[in-house]
Amino acid sequence: MDFGYIAQQLANGLILGSMYALVAIGFSMIYGIVRLINFAHGDIVMIGAFTTLVLMETAGLPFPLVAFFVLLTGCGMGILIERISFRPMRGAPQVTGFIASLGISIMLQNLGILTLSAQPRNFSFPSYMQRILNLGPVSFRVVDVVIILTAFFLMVALIFLVQKTKLGIAMRATAENIDVARLMGIDINKTIMATFAIGSGLAAIAGLMWGGKFGQIDPLMGYVPGLKSFVAAVIGGVGSIPGAILGAFILGLSEVLFVGLLPPIYSSYRDAFVFGVLIIILIAMPNGLLGKDIGDKA
Amino acid sequence: MLSVENIDVYRGRTHVLRQVDIHVKHGEIIALIGANGAGKTTTLRTISGLLHPAKGKILYAAGKGKRQIEISSLPPEQIVSTGVSHCPEGRGVFSQLSVKENLLVGAYLRKDNKIEQDIQSIYEMFPILEERSTQAAGNLSGGEQMMLALGRSLMSRPKLLILDEPSLGLAPLVIETIFNKLKKINTEGVTILIVEQNAVMALELSHRAYVLETGRVTLFGRSADLTLNPEVQKAYLGGE
């Protein structure tokens, strides 16, 4: 096992981590503002992947335009999910919202199977994106670089939005105290809708990347990455955006290293390993790595 | 300016307010006093739109000669835009936002370019807020949080300022500072409706007052008169 091999694994972990991060951010933002886990969030990854397939292979649009429309589709789906499964449940017991979003998730998966068939589809990015680049001992495709750069750009844009803009301040205020936010004149329906739109747009982009990276998509593909991104959000401290990003990179890197550095016989335990990491971190830090203690909310 | 006319309010199945009738004239300071659970906070939350009355009307006019509108069915964000600002019980500062961000949230609906200028005048009123402008509001002391909550409420340039227990849990010296500022804010033309447990201070500050008992208005009148009322003295002022 030489240095080149480890560097290659680290690069793979970074790519996987940045995809998890885009999904985990949405989980965390949505949880932060409505205190509910959106179980349908992972399925937006699937919708993003299929939208990419349609736009790129069938319509033949250039990549930046595809990415833009996939982002918009994700936003639209987020708004739709909020409107049908979260808004009518506002004020209802938490478990009602969980079940509603679980229902949406199952519905989206089955709708996918029904209309798109359960058969996995090959997904190939144009050849210029498949070109292999060599950087010393590490080799990667152009699409890998695009994934990392896009993810990085979106994360910076998101943090700017949340920290510096009026909408971002309104989102943080609403997440902290809905009633007081309303007393300040914030239209919480619009703010919550924007949160769903942004989080879901990022998840759809992750779907585009997933297709580009692994080359195969199917209607149930969103389930496992959705679950793992949720784990990443919990590891980082659910509700915290930097936490979600940190958790996603920790998870992506450790998952790839686990598979890459141990004998192949262990590699089918990768999911067990992921959840093992979650349990250990939560025992040591029940609020996650960057999570705020709920108790100290004045 | 504000007419609360015979409102009945329920919280779940509990009938909290019965036939509550409160009238606030332009430029006044009105106090609402009463024991715990009398319905004071519920009254304020109904005025600002967080709760809606089952019966009765709430009429509001932004100033003398301005058209009266019925606000009891409007959502809070629309009521704020008519010039009502509600500083909630327990202050409700956004503890994870910085001091300055809290002030900016207060000006959320404003689109003019004088927001920065108003922040400066809040800093002049409470210099400690300027010193701590970039700190998270959760790190402020109770008194500082109250100053911030009051400043934040003023950022919307209200015509009617609603305050829920501003003295709660504060040191006497801080309470005095806050109440002096309230007097000054009132002389600058802001009408104030204040709920207070501390009846002595509330009656001293206000022009008129209403006494609320188990969801009904049992007494009202000029604060100076109420101070002399034997029942009020016995129940709220600690007199014999």
Residue B145 in domain: no
Smallest Cα distance from A223 to chain B, Å: 33
Residue B43 in domain: yes
Whether B98 has its CB under 8 Å from any CB of chain A: the answer is no
Contact B182, B29 (CB under 8 A): yes
- Judge whether residue B132 has pLDDT over 60: yes
Q: Given pLDDT bands bounded at 50, 70 and 90, which one contains residue A298?
A: very low
Give pLDDT, residue A293: 58
Domain tally for chain B?
1
Half-sphere exposure of A49 (CA within 13 A, CB side): 31
- Residue in chain B lying closest to A174 (CA): B94
Q: Which residue has the higher pLDDT, B25 or A1?
A: B25
- A96-105, A191-200, B182-191, range with the lowest pLDDT: A96-105
- Residue in chain B lying closest to A240 (CA): B96
- Judge whether residue B131 has pLDDT over 80: yes
Of A176, A181, A185, the CB nearest to B96: A176
Give pLDDT, residue A290: 85
Average per-residue pLDDT in chain A?
89
Give pLDDT, residue B17: 93
Please give the average per-residue pLDDT across A264-276, as a whole number. 84
Tell me, rounded to whole angstroms, the distance of Cα A279 from its chain centroid: 20
Amino acid of residue A151: A
The DSSP secondary structure of A232-272, one letter per residue, reads: HHHHH-TT-HHHHHHHHHHHHHHHHHHHHHS-GGGGGGHHH
Residue B172 in domain: yes
Q: How many A/B residue pairs have CB atoms within 8 Å? A: 68
Give pLDDT, residue A264: 82
Q: Given pLDDT bands bounded at 50, 70 and 90, which one contains residue A296?
A: very low
Whether B145 has its CB under 8 Å from any CB of chain A: the answer is yes
pLDDT in tens, A113-152: 999 888 888 887 888 888 888 887 788 888 888 889 999 9
Distance between CA atoms of residues B158 and B143, nearest Å: 22
Average per-residue pLDDT in chain B?
92
pLDDT in tens, A203-244: 999 999 998 888 889 999 999 899 999 999 999 988 889 999
pLDDT in tens, A53-71: 999 888 888 888 999 999 9
Give pLDDT, residue A2: 77
- Judge whether residue A95 has pLDDT over 90: no
- Judge whether residue B240 has pLDDT over 80: no
- Judge whether residue A297 has pLDDT over 50: no
What is the residue whose two structure tokens read 């093992």?
A: A276
**Is the CB of A184 less than 8 angstroms away from the CB of B138?**
no
- Judge whether residue A295 has pLDDT over 50: no
- Least Cα distance to B55 among B72, B77, B42 occurs for B72
Give pLDDT, residue B230: 86
pTM for the whole structure: 0.89
Q: Is B64 helix (H, G, I), strand (E, B) or coil?
A: coil
The domain of B6 spans 2-91+161-236
Structure token pair of residue B221: 């009148």
Distance between CA atoms of residues A254 and B240, nearest Å: 73
Residue B49 in domain: yes
CATH of the domain at B74: 3.40.50.300
Smallest Cα distance from B185 to chain A, Å: 19
Main-chain dihedrals φ then ψ at residue B85, nearest 5 degrees? -125, 125
pLDDT in tens, B74-89: 999 999 999 999 999 9
Tell me the residues of chain B between 21 and 60 that have a Cβ less than 8 Å away from chain A: 48-50
Contact A236, A28 (CB under 8 A): yes
Q: Given pLDDT bands bounded at 50, 70 and 90, which one contains residue A248?
A: very high
Residue B119 in domain: no
Structure token pair of residue A29: 């933002």
